[in-house]
Amino acid sequence: MLIKTDVIVLKKSKFGEGEAILTLFSKKLGKVKAVAKGWKKGKGKNSTTIQPFLYGEAVLFKGKNLYQISQMDLKNSFYKLQEDVIKLGYASYILELTESIIIEGQTNNRLFETLIEVLTEFLSKKSDFITLVKAYEMKLLVYAGYKPEMNICVCCGSSELDKVKFSSRQGGIICRKCFNTDPYAMNISTITMNVIVYLMRTELSQIAKLKIKEEIRKELDKIIKNYIYTQIDKSEFKSLIFLEAIETLK
């Protein structure tokens, strides 16, 4: 059976001689693994190497175990991301994070559209891509079912929030009375709380123009990272290790 669907390549792993296994995020099938064998770009003769970030309409068919890509009409290669190594590092993190959170066989069209949108915004010179990463992280969490509670205490439901902490384990803010439920809960400023809510609610194109102050970004970074690691039970991302290595070379 042939399935025609929009896909984006999230990951490529080697598989035998001249073949690769691709992890795709597809609109109709969710996350799927597919073999790229004899794949040709469009109808031309020259086969193009399939790389992560390629976005297009693919025709997939189910082989014995894996899907195979029989055809792909390219919509965007996001090739220009290669021009800036830091930008490419963050864009790679976006793919890696998406790959770790989405589930095989489960569609998520809102997330699919948001992924294409964030990568497109990445190409714009006017966009602040660090802000975009934060926005994408929050939207991904919401669309994948990990929305943190930011309005009331996630433990007792209280709206008396004169002093709060953020608990990754509980999944949101906790009030003073509930501090003892999570010894690892982190301090969070009101402004960081508001930024998180803003990032979850606002259109990416609007967020892209925004530059978050360094100190708020640091707090945001710490909280979101801790939340992601706790919720999806992952301890590292290759792309972030790569980015840290580059930062130390500066």
Where do contacts with Zn ion occur on this chain (CB under 5 A)? 153, 155-156, 158, 175, 177-178
Angle between helices 214-232 and 129-143 (to 10 degrees): 30
Task: Name the residue nearer to Zn ion (CB basis): 159 or 248.
Answer: 159
- The least distance separating Zn ion from the CB of residue 8, rounded to whole angstroms, comes to 40
Residue with the two structure tokens 């073949």: 19
- The least distance separating Zn ion from the CB of residue 194, rounded to whole angstroms, comes to 20
Separation between Cα atoms, residue 39 and residue 66, nearest integer Å = 15
Separation between Cα atoms, residue 30 and residue 6, nearest integer Å = 10
Residue with the two structure tokens 């915004």: 121
- The least distance separating Zn ion from the CB of residue 229, rounded to whole angstroms, comes to 23
Residue 225 has phi, psi (to 5 degrees) of: -60, -45
- The least distance separating Zn ion from the CB of residue 141, rounded to whole angstroms, comes to 21
- Alpha-carbon 120 to chain mean position: 14
Task: Name the residue nearer to Zn ion (CB basis): 47 or 151.
Answer: 151
Task: Name the residue nearer to Zn ion (CB basis): 36 or 185.
Answer: 185
Task: Name the residue nearer to Zn ion (CB basis): 19 or 160.
Answer: 160
Task: Name the residue nearer to Zn ion (CB basis): 103 or 156.
Answer: 156
Element (H, E) at 12: strand 2-14
- The least distance separating Zn ion from the CB of residue 183, rounded to whole angstroms, comes to 15
- The least distance separating Zn ion from the CB of residue 185, rounded to whole angstroms, comes to 11
Element (H, E) at 239: helix 238-249
- The least distance separating Zn ion from the CB of residue 152, rounded to whole angstroms, comes to 8
Contact 139, 114 (CB under 8 A): yes
Task: Name the residue nearer to Zn ion (CB basis): 47 or 180.
Answer: 180
Task: Name the residue nearer to Zn ion (CB basis): 99 or 182.
Answer: 182
Separation between Cα atoms, residue 34 and residue 230, nearest integer Å = 30
Residue with the two structure tokens 């970004």: 217
Q: Within 10 A of 218 (CB to CB), how many other CB atoms are there?
A: 12
**Is the sign of the CA dihedral 190, 191, 195, 198 positive or negative?**
positive
